[in-house]
Every structure is written in structure tokens, then in C-alpha cells.
């Protein structure tokens, strides 16, 4: 129950952030263009990071399926893959930031500001999820999960899959808003 409440709160936080984004996007208050001529679009690495977080979510799901079937070494491999793919997501997000930073800074326009703030908000939550993935992977490698005792994987999965879904909505919003 606690994890579901936490996911609800995180979801509401992102819903509020996206609502704020929509309000600013539709009618910027300072009269300037939303995305001035020459401002770059979204970096391609955001697509790569999207694939990484989707693959991470799939790996975590495979870990859960494996432990439920009693395949503990497969559980461990999949949990480790989920961890490293989550880490790859953060690295790719950093590359996206670096790419954007070379062309547009946070203070340059509302388009840049919302890009940096929304992606940073998500990455901070992902970092917490990576910590949890690391704990799950470590426990899986130590053989601490069994077919009848794997609540850590389930709880981590609830959080991680919700971050995955939030990222898909966030990325789609940024992509549509960059047009």
C-alpha cells in the first residue's frame, strides 16, 4: 500500500509539472516566442535513453518472472541488466543535457527551461530507482529471493515501471512541444 501511495504522489507531481508546462507552452507570459528560430530540437539521445529505460523495465519484469519460476540465476542476470540499463538511461540523459547545453542554456528561453527542469525532475527520481535496482540486483546475486519470497523485486518493479510510464508521457510531451 505504501509503494502505491508513493507512486501516486510521484505521478501527481509529474502531472502538476506537465500541467504547468502546458500552461506556459500555450501562452508564454513574457511575450517571447516559445522556441525562438535556431533553437535546437530535442537531442537524439533522448530516444536512445527511452529505449534504455524500456529495456530496463523489461529486464526487471523478466527478473520477476524468472524468480517466480524458480530460475534464480536468470533472475540475477535480469536484475543486473535492469540496473545497468537504468544507469545507461542516466548517462544518456547527461549526454542529452550536454548536447543541449552546447547550443541553448536554461536561461535562454522557456523551451530550454522546461526541457532542463522536466528532465532533471525525472532523473532525480530515476536515481532513487537505480539505488533500489542496485539493492534488488545485489540481493538476487546473493540468492536472497525465492519463488515464494520476492517482494523486493515486486516493489521495485512498481516504482520502476511507473517511472518508465512517466518518462514516456514526459518525452512525448517534450517532443510534441518542441514542434
pLDDT at 132 over 90: yes
pLDDT at 101 over 80: yes
- What was the pLDDT predicted at 33? 67
With vertex at residue 167, the alpha carbon angle to CA 179 and CA 11, rounded to the nearest 5 degrees, is 115
Q: Where are the domains of the chain?
A: 2-18+42-177
- What was the pLDDT predicted at 37? 77
Q: What is the pLDDT of residues 22-56, one digit of tens each?
A: 777 677 666 666 667 777 788 999 999 999 999 99
pLDDT at 21 over 80: no
Q: Average pLDDT for residues 134-139, to the nearest whole number?
A: 97
pLDDT: which is higher, 1 or 121: 121
3-state secondary structure 23-85: HHHHCCCCCCCCCCCCCCCCCCHHHHHHHHHHHHHHHHHHHHHHHHCCCHHHHHHHHHHHHHH
- What was the pLDDT predicted at 84? 98
Q: What is the pTM of this model?
A: 0.86
Q: Average pLDDT for residues 49-71, to the nearest whole number?
A: 97
pLDDT: which is higher, 100 or 13: 100
pLDDT: which is higher, 148 or 38: 148
- What was the pLDDT predicted at 32? 65
pLDDT mean across residues, the chain: 88
Burial of residue 73 (number of CB atoms within 10 Å: 0-12, 13-18, 19+)? exposed
CATH number (3.40.710.10, 1.20.120.80, 1.20.1730.10, 1.10.246.90) of 2-18+42-177 reads 1.20.120.80
Amino acid at each position: 500500500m505504501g509503494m502505491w501511495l508513493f507512486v501516486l504522489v510521484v505521478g501527481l507531481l509529474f502531472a502538476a509539472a506537465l500541467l504547468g508546462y502546458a500552461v506556459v507552452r500555450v501562452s508564454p507570459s513574457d511575450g517571447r516566442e516559445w522556441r525562438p528560430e535556431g533553437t535546437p530540437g530535442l537531442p537524439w539521445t533522448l530516444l536512445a535513453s527511452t529505449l534504455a529505460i524500456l529495456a530496463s523495465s523489461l529486464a526487471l519484469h523478466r527478473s520477476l518472472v524468472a524468480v517466480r519460476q524458480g530460475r534464480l540465476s536468470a533472475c540475477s542476470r535480469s536484475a543486473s541488466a535492469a540496473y545497468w540499463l537504468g544507469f545507461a538511461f542516466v548517462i544518456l540523459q547527461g549526454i542529452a543535457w550536454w548536447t543541449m547545453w552546447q547550443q541553448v542554456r536554461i536561461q535562454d528561453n522557456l523551451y530550454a527551461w522546461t526541457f532542463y527542469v522536466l528532465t532533471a525532475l525525472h532523473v532525480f527520481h530515476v536515481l532513487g530507482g537505480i539505488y533500489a535496482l542496485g539493492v534488488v540486483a545485489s540481493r538476487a546475486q546473493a540468492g536472497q529471493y525465492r519463488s515464494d519470497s520476492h517482494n523486493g523485486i515486486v516493489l521495485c518493479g512498481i516504482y520502476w515501471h511507473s517511472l518508465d510510464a512517466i518518462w514516456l508521457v514526459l518525452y512525448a510531451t517534450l517532443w510534441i512541444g518542441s514542434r
